[in-house]
Amino acid sequence: MSSLEKMLGLLDVFTVEQPIWSSEDLIRHVGSPASTCYRYLKVLHRAGFLSRVANKSYVLGPRVMELDRVSRESDPVYLAGSPVGQDLTLETGHSSLLCILFSDSVMCVQQTRGHEAPTGLFARGQRRPLVAGASAKSILAHLPMHQLRILYSRHAAAVSAVGLGADWETFKSELKQIRQCGYSMTVGDYNAGIVSIATPLFNRDGEVLGSLALAASVSLITPDAFRAFAPQIVQAGKEVSARIAANDYVVALPARAIGQHAPG
């Protein structure tokens, strides 16, 4: 790992569960000499990615918020998908989720909450494994075969646990069924009590970028009744993909290769 990767990796340790880190803990985490780590902290602090707080500790800095604003105003998937997701929520009364593929994980980039939105709903900036939940499975089903082999070799137990098959051939067959349906539907796959339907999103070259999903609590609607929204969700996903394709440039796949370790 290069020095630059180690420095940027410091940002990965800041989470909702542990938003404050002392310089001493960061030094231990990096495993580099103290002088090197202090240099990293100085650079990140000057750039605004970290802010100092009491007791020689750090939190994420204002530059992170600034970049989030830039992302909201320029990201093609966010710009294309957010209005469609909002309309989907208005029409159905349920929560919509716009997600993207990020390495071997799925990240939420926009959440529009419906009436009595279930607790634990995916929110902007959250990442989850690429094997559990409708948002993930609808993406997974459209990945190239060589990437699926990497993912399966690393997450075989998780694949089996969410009903995608206990062996490679069954895994491929389950994903083929999702592709043929045009959507994935799950009940309590990631969070108990949540039913979700997701459809994939593509760039102009037909490469999968993410997914658009609708989610609700099973205390409000039965899975059989919720499935009736599937055609509407699939159509909404096609609209988002068409908007993405209408850009002056092709939206590429995420920079990080599938199969690389995703922190968090």
pLDDT confidence bin for 86, thresholds 50/70/90? very high
Token couple for 77: 């998937």
Query: In whole angstroms, what separates CA 69 from the centre of its chain?
Result: 18
Tokens (6 digits) for 25: 């803990």
Structure letter (DSSP) for residue 187:
E
Domain that holds residue 153: 75-245
Q: Which band of pLDDT confidence, cut at 50, 70 and 90, is reported for residue 262?
A: very low
pLDDT by residue (tens digit) across 208-227?
A: 999 999 999 999 999 999 99
Any idea what the CATH number is for the domain that residue 45 is in? Answer: 1.10.10.10
Residues 30 and 90 in one domain: no
Same domain, 15 and 89: no
Same domain, 62 and 79: no
Do 80 and 12 reside in the same domain of the chain? Answer: no
Q: How far apart are CA 132 and CA 134, in angstroms?
A: 7
Same domain for 110 and 54? Answer: no
Average pLDDT over residues 174-199: 93
83 & 60 share domain: no
Looking at the fold, whether 129 and 211 belong to one and the same domain comes out as yes
pLDDT at position 3 is 84
C-alpha span between 165 and 159 (Å, rounded):
6
Burial class (CB in 10 A: 0-12, 13-18, 19+), 207: middle
Looking at 20, 47, 66, the residue that finishes a domain is 66
- Report the predicted TM-score, pTM, of the whole model to 2 decimal places: 0.85
For the chain, what is the mean pLDDT? 89
